[in-house]
């Protein structure tokens, strides 16, 4: 009987989550993204943890053939962060010194087990949640989240795929936090699909354009993951969320974004370095951008927030400024 009930509740829940009418009443529209196809790929982390000896023998072959590491190379190229091969090899070497049993029973493989069990639930719940933030024009994606270990960033999205490095100390070996972060990364995949369709006139300078794209993309991604905590909580783990809940820190991060944008409008040289250091590493784009997304979502509605993804990043700043308090407005970038 209990089995039957569980089965029935499972079916009910799946129908509830997938029912387009439910989505429609929540969001007034259904994004094409809702019909996306997503799966987890564990091949990278399993090769690393279960056969590190083979990688140590020929690291170059691994970097050239492993799907997650091919994407990691793209990340290094895009961000210009150099690959520290020596540091990386040391980690794999350390792993290869452990016994088979130790590696099989490691915390990393335990997280892999949890993620495998959760994969179907994640697909069923994360897609409609993310789709509720995306405009109706967003096409469905056919994509994977690659689960790996020991890449430089703890997570990233490039070329329409997401990569999560589950050994990173950022996660404190917490599988639920990892799942929450997957929602952030998977949002980037949907955002990128819209970037090809933006309606607004882009800034002529690509470097300047990148600054508002990052504010827009990282800000909404942070807010999408923050609002997904009823599915996967990151409470006590995600430093961005802690900052996002602190009004003084939000004000400071808005000031940081304005410092970057003011210099960009003055055509300062070192702008890319400042943007990387303050906007990305010190999280100004994430925290200020999430606050902007929340403000638009709560005061103007989800549809207006999704429209900024349809129109482009300049409209995100302009829409936010319409309703922002005077001391929290964001400087608009100009050519």
For residues 164 and 250, which CB has a smaller minimum distance to Zn ion in the complex?
Answer: 164
For residues 48 and 126, which CB has a smaller minimum distance to Zn ion in the complex?
Answer: 126
Helices (H), 153-205: 175-195
For residues 62 and 191, which CB has a smaller minimum distance to Zn ion in the complex?
Answer: 191
Q: Which residue is nearest to Zn ion (CB)?
A: 221
The string of DSSP letters for 291-327 reads HHHHHHHHHT-HHHHHHHHHH-HHHHHHHHHHHS-GG
For residues 55 and 225, which CB has a smaller minimum distance to Zn ion in the complex?
Answer: 225
Question: In the window 200-219, what residues touch Zn ion (CB under 5 A)?
Answer: 218
For residues 221 and 260, which CB has a smaller minimum distance to Zn ion in the complex?
Answer: 221
In sequence order, the 6+-apart residues with CB closer than 8 A to the CB of 254 are 288, 291, 328, 330
For residues 217 and 311, which CB has a smaller minimum distance to Zn ion in the complex?
Answer: 217
DSSP state of 170: G
The minimum distance between CB 218 and Zn ion, in angstroms, equals 5
For residues 118 and 218, which CB has a smaller minimum distance to Zn ion in the complex?
Answer: 218
What residues form DSSP beta bridges with 38? 143
Question: In the window 17-46, what residues touch Zn ion (CB under 5 A)?
Answer: none
The minimum distance between CB 188 and Zn ion, in angstroms, equals 6
The minimum distance between CB 183 and Zn ion, in angstroms, equals 11
Secondary structure class of 156 (helix, strand, coil): strand
Q: Of 136-144, 159-167, 220-228, 260-268, which part binds Zn ion (CB under 5 A)?
A: 220-228
The minimum distance between CB 215 and Zn ion, in angstroms, equals 11
For residues 147 and 221, which CB has a smaller minimum distance to Zn ion in the complex?
Answer: 221
For residues 62 and 232, which CB has a smaller minimum distance to Zn ion in the complex?
Answer: 232
- Count the neighbouring beta carbons within 10 Å of the beta carbon of residue 251: 15
- As given in the structure block, the two tokens for residue 176 are 């639920």
The minimum distance between CB 181 and Zn ion, in angstroms, equals 9
Chain CA centroid to CA 4, Å: 37
Beta 155-158 vs 161-165: how paired, if at all?
Answer: antiparallel
By CB under 5 A, is residue 126 in contact with Zn ion?
no
Q: How far from 329 is each of 238, 263, 296, 303, CA to CA, in Å?
A: 26, 16, 13, 21
By CB under 5 A, is residue 221 in contact with Zn ion?
yes
The minimum distance between CB 187 and Zn ion, in angstroms, equals 8
Q: What share of the chain is helix, strand, coil (3-state, %, to 5)?
A: 65, 5, 25
Secondary structure class of 164 (helix, strand, coil): strand
In sequence order, the 6+-apart residues with CB closer than 8 A to the CB of 192 are 157, 160
The minimum distance between CB 285 and Zn ion, in angstroms, equals 9
Q: Decide if 162 contacts 189 (C-beta within 8 A).
A: yes
By CB under 5 A, is residue 178 in contact with Zn ion?
no
- Count the neighbouring beta carbons within 10 Å of the beta carbon of residue 10: 12
DSSP state of 29: S
The minimum distance between CB 186 and Zn ion, in angstroms, equals 10
The minimum distance between CB 318 and Zn ion, in angstroms, equals 22
Binding footprint of Zn ion on the chain (CB under 5 A): 218, 221
């Amino acid at each position: 009987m209990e089995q039957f009930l569980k089965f029935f509740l499972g079916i009910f829940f799946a129908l509830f989550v997938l029912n387009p009418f439910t989505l429609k009443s929540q969001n007034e529209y259904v994004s094409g993204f809702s019909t996306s196809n997503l799966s987890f790929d564990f091949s990278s982390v399993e090769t690393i943890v279960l056969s590190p000896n083979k990688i140590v023998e020929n690291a170059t072959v691994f970097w050239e053939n492993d799907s997650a590491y091919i994407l990691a190379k793209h990340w290094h190229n895009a961000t210009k962060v150099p690959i520290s091969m020596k540091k990386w090899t040391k980690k794999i070497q350390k792993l290869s010194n452990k016994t088979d049993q130790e590696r099989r029973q490691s915390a990393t493989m335990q997280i892999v087990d949890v993620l495998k069990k959760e994969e179907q639930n994640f697909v069923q719940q994360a897609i409609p949640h993310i789709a509720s933030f995306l405009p109706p024009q967003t096409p469905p994606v056919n994509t994977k989240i690659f689960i790996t270990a020991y890449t430089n960033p703890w997570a990233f999205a490039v070329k329409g795929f997401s990569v999560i490095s589950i050994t990173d100390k950022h996660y404190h070996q917490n599988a639920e936090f990892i799942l929450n972060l997957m929602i952030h990364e998977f949002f980037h995949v949907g955002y990128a699909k819209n970037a090809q369709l933006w309606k607004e006139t882009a800034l002529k300078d690509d470097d300047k354009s990148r600054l508002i794209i990052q504010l827009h993309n990282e800000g909404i991604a942070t807010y999408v993951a923050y609002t997904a905590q009823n599915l996967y909580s990151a409470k006590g783990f995600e430093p961005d969320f802690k900052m996002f809940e602190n009004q003084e820190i939000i004000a400071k991060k808005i000031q940081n974004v304005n410092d970057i944008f003011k210099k960009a409008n003055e055509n300062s040289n070192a702008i890319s370095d400042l943007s990387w250091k303050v906007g990305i590493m010190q999280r100004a784009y994430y925290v200020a951008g999430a606050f902007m997304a929340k403000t638009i979502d709560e005061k103007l509605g989800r549809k207006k927030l999704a429209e900024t993804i349809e129109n482009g990043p300049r409209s995100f700043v302009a829409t936010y400024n319409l309703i922002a308090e005077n001391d929290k407005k964001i400087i608009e970038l100009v050519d």
